[in-house]
Chain A
Amino acid sequence: MDGNIIRDGKMPPLWHYGHEEHDVISAKTFGFWLYMLSDALLFAGLFAAYAVLDHAMNMAGGPVEAQVVHPIAATWQTLAVLSSVFAYSLATVALKRGSRAGLIAGMAVAIVLGAVFIGLELADFASLVHTGATPDTSGFLSAFFVLIASHGLHMAFGLLWMLVMLVQVLRFGLSTAVVAQLLNLRLFWQFQASVWVCVYVFVYLKGTI
């Protein structure tokens, strides 16, 4: 307990007058960090499933890891996603300056590069399916496709969000609500890039060894 806090007959204040400063951006950012934590756990679960099923027994006589992963193609994907994050970061620098044009330009580049990433991924999937390596071939391929497609879905969701934000910036300008969303979107986009780095290392690079 805090001991005797009444000194010299002075009662400390019982009510807090004055407007509570309601910091919308910090509340939303904190909430979004918590969401990112749950998203990180989701990927942790998927990586765990991949680690368990990445075993000769789980390949069930189907294609083995080295036949499935294309690290060179994945390197191009890595470059695309990292440049997209870089473009979005430049957009947030422009946001800090209050430059709407710079923000829109940066986001447009980020969207294009994100779309390139998804296009490369779909092309990779198509070539795998063409060679008969489909998700229902073996437990290993199930884990491979679902892990990478989950990340791809997150990327697609991020692209949709960016498009929506582009419209909102044009319509509402840099209002508090818009800025809060732009900052959370940055967090989301950078997190997906970090997850891709893990995918690149644990799936594509490890798969070639």
Chain B
Amino acid sequence: MFVHVPGPWSPLFGRLTLDSIPYTNPIILFAFAFSVVAGLMIVVPVLYYRKVGYLFREWLTTVDHKKIGIMYILLGLVMMFRGFVDGMMIRTQQVMADGPKSLGYLGAAHGYLPPEHFDQIYSSHGTLMIIFAVTPILTGLGNIIVPLQIGARDMAFPMMNAVSLWLTAVGAMLVMASLFIGDFSTAGWVGLAPLTEVPFSPSVGVDYWLWAIQISSIGTTLNAINMIATIVGMRAPGMRWDRLPIFTWTTLSTNIIGLTSFPILGVALALLGADRYLGTHFFTAGMGGDLMLYTNLFWIWGHPEVYFLVLPAFGIISEVIPTFAEKPLFGYITMVAATFAIAGISWTVWLHHFFTMGAGPYVNTFFSVATMLVGIPTGVKVFNWLFTLYRGRLTFTAPMLWAVGALFLLLIGGLTGMMLAIPAVNYTVHNSVFVIAHFHCMVLLIAYSIFAATGYWFPKVFGFRLDERSGKMFFYTFSLGTAVLFIAMFALGFMGETRRLDYLYDTQWMPALVTEEIGIGIYTLSCYYFAKMLYVSIRDRAKNRVGADAWGTSRTLEWLTHSPVPFYNFAVTPQVNTRDELSWRYANNVAGVRPSRFEDFHMPNNTVVPLLIGILAFGFGFGLVWRIWWMAGFSLLAIIAVVIYRSFARDPGYIVSAETLAKLEGADEPLSIITETQHLAELGMITETRHLTEAEAH
């Protein structure tokens, strides 16, 4: 029943032979050398300073939501850099391969990339940016911030949280492995059927793509369960639904989307996998297969996925703007309603990705109207942000610049999206780079929000602010790059350039292509400022240390605890009294009030199980990609055995005693500790808790 694939196969190594390693390709050799150097720059200091044990105990086996979040974001940033390099290679190939007289290098007829290599690069660019850069970074931000915003000690299922992280990392590792062992898919990040079928793509490329996404999407689904359970079940006392910070709301809505849409992706990829491994005919070109079934299933996940990414970005903007406008968010309830309206509509618009399928006017009209409906709640959001800015006391820090910049991109991306929602327009520009420019505006809006969020919450996590000067230079160069590149790309779309071209036939496109290349050059410059921002910030960290509230005008609960956040988040669970709790405490002069007594509390132990599951999942994925059946089978059985073994382990966690806690809290800020009792007495106020405390003290 197993599908016969061309080429050699051995029981021990499957399809893997020495020829699978593309050591003759200078570009890949360079990438390999770069990766090795970058890897050594991490590994050598770890070994030299004897930090292996620390790394293992404190990070690789951690169940702390903040550390897991940091690792998610690091993973995402590294993948984003690789995705950016892919983008740079695509741009450079196109500018070099315009017109029949353009020269060819390194075995390519035009430009420097032969078609099958170019196809791999745009496929990995999309896969990396969406699945392995933006998704992990947003998941990581949710991981770090949401428990803090709702006043929880941890996620609902701390160990499962680590499993999610390692499964995502396994997916990223598989894409990285495809760079040096074998090849990657040439069928685009969406996996164009039936091009992904064995007769047309017999190499391991599609298998890498398939298992990387499949394994990481299991991680994303588990994380969605965890997030929803955390937000529903772990809110601090008084954190009613009408007091929930907007970022937490958007994370909730986004994870509802994730929970309900990722299984469909799982089905689409599993059926494709059945075609490729078991010889079924779901999406084949003959034998009763239906390639549009794949396209529909993929986009039933794919479009909700877009909102899965953009909603947390909207949440970030909704947190950053009020802080730096020093005003409460305008229209809190409409903001929540708009968030859930977008989440709801996200399920009903997938067909606008292929209006040209030929579904007929009635079907197209339905999806066209549904798509345009998205504009209404999105418009509500934009006006809410504008009215928050209106007559605010604005401070243009780097995070604020990113948040405001995101609004412009939302406007351009949103309006071009409305154009594309009209089937008549869509028939004209579909598959052109106009569409590419449109969705890059939307994805860049998410990237802008990510940069806003990293700047905004960085001091919360690490205890010092990022350097403003280089941070702003990063923003300005990045924005200039965006403008130069994507304005030219919109124009090229109207001039008829279709997407995914390794050779361009029209020499009249040259000026616009050169403009795009200049744009990507400015982006490269912005990478320098990003690196400089990190370097300067870490070097001058002593100067930029912050207290609990890094900005002085923050509004939400996460800024109530120390920066950096201790492993237990809050020494005593805060009692929430209003929306924007911290602003309220400022207004009533009680923001500095510390708890008057501490109590023992319970924390989960670190465990090696999630890491082990991750390593085995890599073996499972790699074994399946190369058809090394013993490896895949062993890994799967071992995962089941580990899970069963873990279910027998009785891990009680540990207790942090009140004395330890007092010591930890006191050592952190010895002078600023004012107990609730003292402080309120000074204010001439009495509380019920104070009476209780004193009664118990006697």
Chain A residues near B573 (CB, 8 Å)?
15-16, 20
Contact of B281 with A11 in the complex, beta carbons under 8 Å: no
Chain B residues near A41 (CB, 8 Å)?
259-261, 263-264
Contact of B280 with A146 in the complex, beta carbons under 8 Å: yes
Bound-state Cα–Cα, A45 to B296, Å = 10
Contact of B280 with A15 in the complex, beta carbons under 8 Å: no
A5 with B577, Cβ < 8 A, contacts A58-B290, A139-B288 known: yes
Chain A residues near B280 (CB, 8 Å)?
135-136, 139, 142, 145-146
Q: Mark A136-156, 1 if CB is under 8 A from B, else 0.
A: 111110110110000000000
Q: Mark B242-283, 1 if CB is under 8 A from A, else 0.
A: 010000000000000001111110111011001100111110
What's the nearest-Cβ distance from chain A to residue B512, in Å? 41
Bound-state Cα–Cα, A121 to B162, Å = 37
Contact of B156 with A11 in the complex, beta carbons under 8 Å: no
Chain B residues near A37 (CB, 8 Å)?
259-260
Chain B residues near A18 (CB, 8 Å)?
599
What's the nearest-Cβ distance from chain B to residue A119, in Å? 21
Contact of B293 with A52 in the complex, beta carbons under 8 Å: yes
B647: Cβ under 8 A from any A Cβ: yes
B689: Cβ under 8 A from any A Cβ: yes
Contact of A45 with B685 in the complex, beta carbons under 8 Å: no
A142 with B574, Cβ < 8 A, contacts A10-B685, A12-B687 known: no
Q: Mark A1-43, 1 if CB is under 8 A from B, else 0.
A: 1100110011111111111101000110011001101110110
Contact of B225 with A42 in the complex, beta carbons under 8 Å: no
B192: Cβ under 8 A from any A Cβ: no
Instruction: Give the most central of A1, A11, A19, A58: most B CB within 10 Å.
Output: A11
Interface size on B, residues (CB 8 A): 77
8 Å CB contacts to B: which residues of A105-140? 134-140
B135: Cβ under 8 A from any A Cβ: no
Bound-state Cα–Cα, A111 to B300, Å = 37
B157: Cβ under 8 A from any A Cβ: yes
Contact of B574 with A1 in the complex, beta carbons under 8 Å: no
What's the nearest-Cβ distance from chain A to residue B528, in Å? 43
8 Å CB contacts to B: which residues of A136-178? 136-140, 142-143, 145-146, 160, 164, 168, 171-172, 177
A143 with B282, Cβ < 8 A, contacts A2-B579, A46-B267, A52-B290 known: yes
Chain B residues near A171 (CB, 8 Å)?
648
Contact of A27 with B229 in the complex, beta carbons under 8 Å: yes
Q: Mark A43-61, 1 if CB is under 8 A from B, else 0.
A: 0111011001100011110
A83: Cβ under 8 A from any B Cβ: no
Bound-state Cα–Cα, A164 to B645, Å = 10
A15 with B290, Cβ < 8 A, contacts A9-B685, A38-B263 known: no
Contact of A14 with B575 in the complex, beta carbons under 8 Å: yes
Bound-state Cα–Cα, A18 to B644, Å = 35
What's the nearest-Cβ distance from chain A to residue B326, in Å? 16
Chain B residues near A146 (CB, 8 Å)?
270-271, 274, 280, 282
A181: Cβ under 8 A from any B Cβ: yes
A48 with B684, Cβ < 8 A, contacts A15-B575, A58-B290 known: no
Contact of A60 with B286 in the complex, beta carbons under 8 Å: yes
Bound-state Cα–Cα, A164 to B641, Å = 11
What's the nearest-Cβ distance from chain A to residue B85, in Å? 34
B593: Cβ under 8 A from any A Cβ: yes
What's the nearest-Cβ distance from chain A to residue B334, in Å? 15
Contact of B1 with A136 in the complex, beta carbons under 8 Å: yes
B233: Cβ under 8 A from any A Cβ: yes
A31 with B156, Cβ < 8 A, contacts A20-B573, A139-B289 known: yes
* Closest residue of B by beta carbon distance from A5: B577
Chain A residues near B271 (CB, 8 Å)?
49, 142, 146
What's the nearest-Cβ distance from chain A to residue B443, in Å? 25
Q: Mark B152-166, 1 if CB is under 8 A from A, else 0.
A: 000011000000000
Contact of B647 with A139 in the complex, beta carbons under 8 Å: no
Bound-state Cα–Cα, A137 to B684, Å = 84
Bound-state Cα–Cα, A9 to B572, Å = 24
* Closest residue of B by beta carbon distance from A129: B1
Chain B residues near A15 (CB, 8 Å)?
572-575, 595-596, 676, 689
Contact of B266 with A13 in the complex, beta carbons under 8 Å: no
Chain B residues near A17 (CB, 8 Å)?
572, 595, 597, 599, 689, 692-693
B578: Cβ under 8 A from any A Cβ: yes
Bound-state Cα–Cα, A16 to B225, Å = 27
Chain A residues near B157 (CB, 8 Å)?
27, 31
8 Å CB contacts to A: which residues of B640-668? 640, 644, 647-648, 650
Bound-state Cα–Cα, A134 to B261, Å = 30
Contact of B229 with A14 in the complex, beta carbons under 8 Å: no
Contact of A16 with B575 in the complex, beta carbons under 8 Å: yes
Instruction: Give the most central of B225, B264, B287, B650: most A CB within 10 Å.
Output: B287
B480: Cβ under 8 A from any A Cβ: no
Bound-state Cα–Cα, A164 to B601, Å = 32
Bound-state Cα–Cα, A192 to B580, Å = 44
Chain B residues near A53 (CB, 8 Å)?
282, 288, 290, 293
8 Å CB contacts to B: which residues of A40-93? 41-42, 44-46, 48-49, 52-53, 57-60, 62
Chain A residues near B267 (CB, 8 Å)?
42, 45-46, 49
Contact of A139 with B577 in the complex, beta carbons under 8 Å: no
B688: Cβ under 8 A from any A Cβ: yes
B373: Cβ under 8 A from any A Cβ: no
Chain A residues near B648 (CB, 8 Å)?
168, 171
Bound-state Cα–Cα, A32 to B443, Å = 32
* Closest residue of A by beta carbon distance from B287: A60
Contact of B221 with A38 in the complex, beta carbons under 8 Å: yes
What's the nearest-Cβ distance from chain A to residue B150, in Å? 13
B232: Cβ under 8 A from any A Cβ: yes
Q: Mark B680-695, 1 if CB is under 8 A from A, else 0.
A: 1001111111001100
A-B contact pairs, 22 of them (CB 8 A): A1-B579, A10-B685, A10-B687, A11-B680, A13-B687, A15-B689, A17-B692, A27-B156, A27-B157, A30-B229, A30-B233, A38-B225, A41-B260, A41-B261, A42-B263, A42-B267, A45-B268, A46-B267, A49-B293, A53-B290, A168-B648, A181-B647
Q: Given contacts A45-B268, A142-B289, could you give 17 more A-B pairs where the C-beta distance is less than 8 Å? A: A1-B578, A2-B577, A2-B578, A10-B688, A14-B575, A34-B225, A44-B263, A53-B282, A57-B288, A135-B1, A135-B279, A136-B279, A139-B282, A146-B271, A146-B274, A168-B647, A177-B650
| Leading 4 A-B pairs by shortest Cβ distance | A139-B288, A45-B267, A142-B280, A60-B288
